[in-house]
Structure 1
Amino acid sequence: MLLLFALLGVVSIIIAAGPALLEGDIFNGNTVKAGEADFEAAEFDEKHEIIVLGLDPEGIAAAVASARSGRETLLIGERRQPGGLMVQGGLNTIDMNFNPEGDLLTQGLFAEFYHQLEGISFNTSTALRVFRRMIREEEKLSWINQEELQEPVLEDGRIVGIITENKRDGERNYYAAERFIDASQGARLAAQAGVPYIRGMEDIGLSDNFQAATLVFQLDNVNWHEALEHLRADGDPHTGGDHRSLWGFWDEMQTYENRHPDIRVRGLNVGRQSGDRVLINALQIPDVDPFCQESRAEGRLKAFRELEYLVEHIRENVPGFSEVELAGIAEELYIRQDRQIEGIERLDINDAREHRVFDDMIGMGSYPVDIQRTSPEAPNLVLFNPAQYSIPFQALVPEEIDGLLVVGKSASYGSQAHGSARVIPVGMVSGEAAGVAGDISLSGDLNFREMAVDEDKIARLQSELISRGAYLDWEDYSFAGEESWALEGIRFINGLGLIQAGYDNEFGFEEPMPDSEFVSLLETALIRAGPKFGYELDEKIENINFPGKEDRPEHLTKASLSSLLSAARVDLGLSSSMEKVISELLFMDRDTAARVAENDVLTRQASYQILLEFFETIVPELQGR
């Protein structure tokens, strides 16, 4: 079966019943060290001051910012058109970032782009026109499409050039520059150059887990008024809509019975195109390996085949959609997560929750920490809804390799903080900062790692960004648990992605800890804490064997805590010398023991602190294996 259609008004898309849906593996390639390439530096085809790799919005922001700084800039990428997920991916609803007062945090070039669109949801053809105009208007900026990165060229630990291959004629081209900005999918240039990185959820012990991919699809014949009125009357504060966007229909979609066991569906995020045509972000494809061409192609095909049944369900169950017809699918998958580099600084989930202000901040974000399911069995999670947090410049600077910045969702973010910082507006903010930083680095004859620790240069970067409209006005907001005696325990558990407060930040730190919840927390924390403490379990602890399972109390008590931790000691094979220390809870420090002495039932915050102290006690044995 073959379906040919024009989805975005700018590209034609073909879906074939076979695995060859993608052209090439965008993550393949080898590092070329200086002296190993078959050419001399003088043989580069073109030389530029700054090269930006990647035609995504983040790359466009970096290139435009660089050109406006007066630098000869080349924007290069493998796609046919600029725009990335907003064009080829059909992602036509923006994940906006506001502070509690309603101020837009992602200003500068993102705001310049956004204010030329129809709204938060937009026509993808409009986005393409705006991106092309932004590129075209810069005299110092040239761009080349359909050029695929093959190899970086290194000299003394610094990137000095790249080798690309033209996807039209297969010709290899050689480009040199003084500075590089990597805005490519999966930070391909950085990875090939040898920059360390984490895969997916690797930093919490889940190296093969990635947030679900999504195939955006298009429907015609939506009755917008009927759908909007239904959402406004459904009584749910987290659903709604306007003249361009609809979000919700959770109850209607929960009854959908997927045909393929790996496909999942959540509530509908609907972005209007023109007339009664919409694009929908709702179809989840867990277990897609973003580094494997075959896995991406297989996931795309599974999702396409599911649409026949999904559209029928929408037609029969969702108000305003009774007459809809499937009109197309996006040209490429929406890959939410692949790799995050190891930067000089890493934005951590606690930085986001506690609204940390970095001295070298170059932008801010506030999008809810949205962790889309990482397997068909896993849930969708909203960990919390931050008021704001800052993005440090050092998160764009690799720990290793000079002459390079990384922007977008592959910057140095912890896997949980990535759930918020991955969104395009934050990526465009980091891209703009990188473009300006390239100019400052060249002006001062400093590499990026030197610039990152130079207070004067960072102050100049921030001042220049503000002059271009960036929002760096910091407001102090309190956060839940700020005055808690168990703050370190809260940070420990939150750092593992195990505190889920939702959109309304319902942390419940002072509420009693349900016993069953603590069992799950303990089992999961044992797995996820491995990378933090430097141990690896011989086998995954999925079900702790403890006595009296049928007679567990409703809430966690000191007695039930003792039995659970003692059972964990046995399952972990810890020495008998630990038996009394654990069973009598002697590992707790004096302050913790005193605070829990008066109440037999333990609160969530007390449980988190006790778990931290338990781990600190058993880690030496686990490390010594």
Structure 2
Amino acid sequence: MRLRNPRALLVIALAVLFIALSVFSFSKIWPKQGNLEPLAVSTPTTHHDTPNASNVPKAPIVGTKNNNVNTYPIEQVDVVIIGSELEGLYLARAAADEGLKVKILDPHKEFGGQILQSQMLFLDETRDDQGHLLVQGRVKELFDGFRNAKIRKLPEFATYMNKLVKDIPIESGIVINDIEQISTPDNMHKIGSIVYSNEQNEKKKITATYWVENSDYAALISRLDAKRLPGLEKFYGQKEIEYMSAGMMMKFKNVDWKKFNTAFNLLKPEEKSKQFGGGYVSDSFAIGLSGMTKAYHPSNDRVFLRGLNAVNQRDGDVLINALLVYTVDPAKPESIQDAVALGNKETALILPHFRKTLPGWEHAELGELPTYPYVREYNHYEMDYVLKPSDLLSGTMFWDNVSIGGYPLDLQGTSANKWGIEMGRPDKYGMPLRSFLLKNYENVIAAGKNVGSSAIAYGSTRIQPNTSLAAESIGVILGQLHGKQKLREITPEEMAKLQQYLSLHYQIKLTGVTGTNKISGWNEEEIRKLDTGEITYPSYIQTRKKPVPKK
């Protein structure tokens, strides 16, 4: 049909043009199904929100936006160790030797914790009531070297620790930025990954099967939804939280140790008591002499000179663990710096007192001063099992033993009790795997000072051989499981096989050990008071009335 009306022709042409333009535009904003581009959606990480989790950091939202990828370099390992304290390094070494991929992230700028940075080079051995050495595992090499004067100086300790972490990657001076926390089907928490900054302020992301808290201020656990247990402030009736005093190691040079040893041991017992308050001096060590230290008057109330733990480092060098600094919070850098300033200033004031009162010290001079205090204690967090004084003094052994411990319940001084107090002397006791597993977390392990222990039991559990052995045992167990099974899923039967493996391949004996029960016959009320500190064992046992046996 032929259209003769020009106006109609124009209308039809405009209509066709409009339809064509509409189709073209619609195809631009809504592509065919096969060519759909992914939308830039950021998916938030799953968190477990609880009323007590206000301090739990939120993980970053990682995704794409405007085609700019906002991600970090991601590293995948089996085990991440947070911190470089000696005890946790045994876990790192054992896990690596068992074939796991391990990495150490240290929030401190320098490696080595209390050993290398605090120069706490006086090692306390663990022995049972018969004097038998309880030190086992890889840490025994260190303690044997210390006792035999082969490992006494700082470079010798550094050589040992560097060998311990050989081929294990370490990043020091890191800052934890974000922690990805996931709720598991069984109502547990789980760390999925951590984003951290290195010393160059570069952000990185790391994932792991297990995370190990091995710092002296709970750099990881303090940021989780973990329950803090009562500390010594409850024992002493204080309102504010206070930890055991920190120590500032005192180093001296130009000491004639031979003269010191000879002169002291030529004295009769009554003369030793009169001049020095008793004590003990040998070729290697000087212990006590608290009468001499009591004669020193500190320059302020925050420092205190207790009895000596002194070691002859050879060549006229002497290191002493005796100077306490009170009210130090290891989580606060300003508190640490304050402790260092107070301690090192007091060391210089103590030197003239030693020159005047100790034979062989007439020409002594100050040695290298430490730049970090020896931190004894921080917060205690709830683990699957919390060790109590009654566990230790009863010699309790557990089916899941990862260490055999020993040592007095030695509570070092606080501002409320400057000399400290001893709460009892166990023979030996077991330390279960459960005391190193953070409660309600599927994959967080505690090491060293972070052991699950009441503040009173901590006086003994904190000692290095106890928790070093536990860490090594756990590292071996992780390697044997190799991600196929969770630590919490280990049955008693499986644990027995793992303990047998530790005995056969690592010469670590965790079974068939018996500890003396020093609270045998105590009733429930007595045990309760022992665990809360209402009973001080050394004095109570002297006056405790034994029940009259029934006829």
Fold conserved between structures, TM > 0.5: yes
1:164 and 2:203 are equivalent in the alignment: no
Candidates 160, 170, 174, aligned match of 1:143: 170
In structure 2, what is the Cα distance between the partners aligned to 1:51 and 1:183?
10
Instruction: State the match for 2:155 in structure 1.
Output: 125
Candidates 491, 497, 516, aligned match of 2:533: 497
Instruction: State the match for 1:210 in structure 2.
Output: 243
1:162 is aligned with what amino acid? I
* Distance change in 2, residues 1:286/1:34 (3 Å): closer
* Distance change in 2, residues 1:37/1:165 (3 Å): same
Q: Counterparts of 1:560-575 in structure 2 under 5 Å?
A: none
In structure 2, what is the Cα distance between the partners aligned to 1:471 and 1:506?
33
In structure 2, what is the Cα distance between the partners aligned to 1:357 and 1:290?
33
Q: Kindly state the Cα deviation for residue 506 of structure 1 after the two structures are TM-superposed.
A: 7.9
> Which string of whole-angstrom CA distances, capped at 9 and with x for unpartnered residues, describes residues 354-402 of structure 1?
1111121111111111111111654321222211111111000111222
Candidates 101, 115, 119, aligned match of 1:72: 101
Q: Kindly state the Cα deviation for residue 481 of structure 1 after the two structures are TM-superposed.
A: 4.4
Conservation of the 8 A alpha-carbon contact between 1:117 and 1:126: no
Instruction: State the match for 2:543 in structure 1.
Output: 509
1:134 and 2:164 are equivalent in the alignment: yes
Instruction: State the match for 2:39 in structure 1.
Output: none
Q: Counterparts of 1:324-343 in structure 2 under 5 Å?
A: 324-343=364-383
Q: Kindly state the Cα deviation for residue 477 of structure 1 after the two structures are TM-superposed.
A: 4.3
Instruction: State the match for 2:139 in structure 1.
Output: 110
In structure 2, what is the Cα distance between the partners aligned to 1:238 and 1:255?
14
Give the 3-state SS of the residue equivalent to 1:154 in structure 2: strand
Give the 3-state SS of the residue equivalent to 1:159 in structure 2: strand
Instruction: State the match for 1:228 in structure 2.
Output: 261
In structure 2, what is the Cα distance between the partners aligned to 1:335 and 1:398?
21
In structure 1, what is the Cα distance between the partners aligned to 2:279 and 2:174?
42
1:151 is aligned with what amino acid? D
Q: Kindly state the Cα deviation for residue 475 of structure 1 after the two structures are TM-superposed.
A: 4.1
* Distance change in 2, residues 1:403/1:477 (3 Å): closer
1:68 is aligned with what amino acid? D
* Distance change in 2, residues 1:90/1:437 (3 Å): same
Over the aligned positions, Cα root-mean-square deviation in angstroms equals 2.9
Q: Kindly state the Cα deviation for residue 412 of structure 1 after the two structures are TM-superposed.
A: 0.6
In structure 1, what is the Cα distance between the partners aligned to 2:533 and 2:482?
39
* Distance change in 2, residues 1:338/1:238 (3 Å): farther
Instruction: State the match for 1:374 in structure 2.
Output: 414
Give the 3-state SS of the residue equivalent to 1:395 in structure 2: helix
Conservation of the 8 A alpha-carbon contact between 1:105 and 1:471: no
1:476 and 2:480 are equivalent in the alignment: no
1:247 is aligned with what amino acid? I
> Which string of whole-angstrom CA distances, capped at 9 and with x for unpartnered residues, describes residues 86-129 of structure 1?
11111111111112343332311211333455637722211110
State the number of aligned residues.
Answer: 475
TM-score, with normalisation over the residues of structure 2? 0.79
Candidates 388, 403, 415, aligned match of 1:348: 388
Conservation of the 8 A alpha-carbon contact between 1:199 and 1:338: no
Give the 3-state SS of the residue equivalent to 2:103 in structure 1: strand
Conservation of the 8 A alpha-carbon contact between 1:196 and 1:400: no
* Distance change in 2, residues 1:279/1:151 (3 Å): farther
Q: Kindly state the Cα deviation for residue 37 of structure 1 after the two structures are TM-superposed.
A: 6.1
Q: Counterparts of 1:338-487 in structure 2 under 5 Å?
A: 338-375=378-415, 377-446=417-486, 448-451=487-490, 454-467=491-504, 468-484=506-522, 487=523
Instruction: State the match for 2:227 in structure 1.
Output: 196
> Which string of whole-angstrom CA distances, capped at 9 and with x for unpartnered residues, describes residues 413-435 of structure 1?
11011011111222211211221
In structure 2, what is the Cα distance between the partners aligned to 1:252 and 1:412?
37
Q: Kindly state the Cα deviation for residue 165 of structure 1 after the two structures are TM-superposed.
A: 2.1
Give the 3-state SS of the residue equivalent to 2:542 in structure 1: coil
* Distance change in 2, residues 1:104/1:260 (3 Å): same
Q: Kindly state the Cα deviation for residue 230 of structure 1 after the two structures are TM-superposed.
A: 4.7
1:63 is aligned with what amino acid? A
Give the 3-state SS of the residue equivalent to 1:152 in structure 2: strand
Q: Kindly state the Cα deviation for residue 464 of structure 1 after the two structures are TM-superposed.
A: 2.7
User: What are structure 2's unaligned runs of at least 5 residues?
Assistant: 1-53, 184-188
* Distance change in 2, residues 1:130/1:356 (3 Å): same
1:488 and 2:524 are equivalent in the alignment: yes
1:309 and 2:340 are equivalent in the alignment: no
Give the 3-state SS of the residue equivalent to 2:79 in structure 1: strand
1:179 and 2:223 are equivalent in the alignment: no
In structure 1, what is the Cα distance between the partners aligned to 2:254 and 2:71?
58
Conservation of the 8 A alpha-carbon contact between 1:180 and 1:403: yes
Larger Rg: 2
User: What are structure 1's unaligned runs of at least 5 residues?
Assistant: 1-28, 513-591, 596-625
1:302 is aligned with what amino acid? L
Q: Kindly state the Cα deviation for residue 191 of structure 1 after the two structures are TM-superposed.
A: 2.0
In structure 2, what is the Cα distance between the partners aligned to 1:38 and 1:202?
46
In structure 2, what is the Cα distance between the partners aligned to 1:410 and 1:220?
35
Conservation of the 8 A alpha-carbon contact between 1:54 and 1:77: yes
Q: Kindly state the Cα deviation for residue 333 of structure 1 after the two structures are TM-superposed.
A: 0.5
Candidates 29, 46, 49, aligned match of 2:75: 46
Give the 3-state SS of the residue equivalent to 1:187 in structure 2: coil
* Distance change in 2, residues 1:466/1:238 (3 Å): farther
Instruction: State the match for 1:534 in structure 2.
Output: none
Conservation of the 8 A alpha-carbon contact between 1:76 and 1:147: yes
1:279 and 2:319 are equivalent in the alignment: yes
Q: Kindly state the Cα deviation for residue 81 of structure 1 after the two structures are TM-superposed.
A: 4.9
Residue identity over aligned pairs, in percent, reads 21
Conservation of the 8 A alpha-carbon contact between 1:153 and 1:161: yes
1:63 and 2:97 are equivalent in the alignment: no
Q: Kindly state the Cα deviation for residue 33 of structure 1 after the two structures are TM-superposed.
A: 4.1
Q: Kindly state the Cα deviation for residue 50 of structure 1 after the two structures are TM-superposed.
A: 1.3
* Distance change in 2, residues 1:37/1:283 (3 Å): farther
1:323 and 2:363 are equivalent in the alignment: yes
TM-score, with normalisation over the residues of structure 1? 0.70
In structure 2, what is the Cα distance between the partners aligned to 1:411 and 1:266?
26
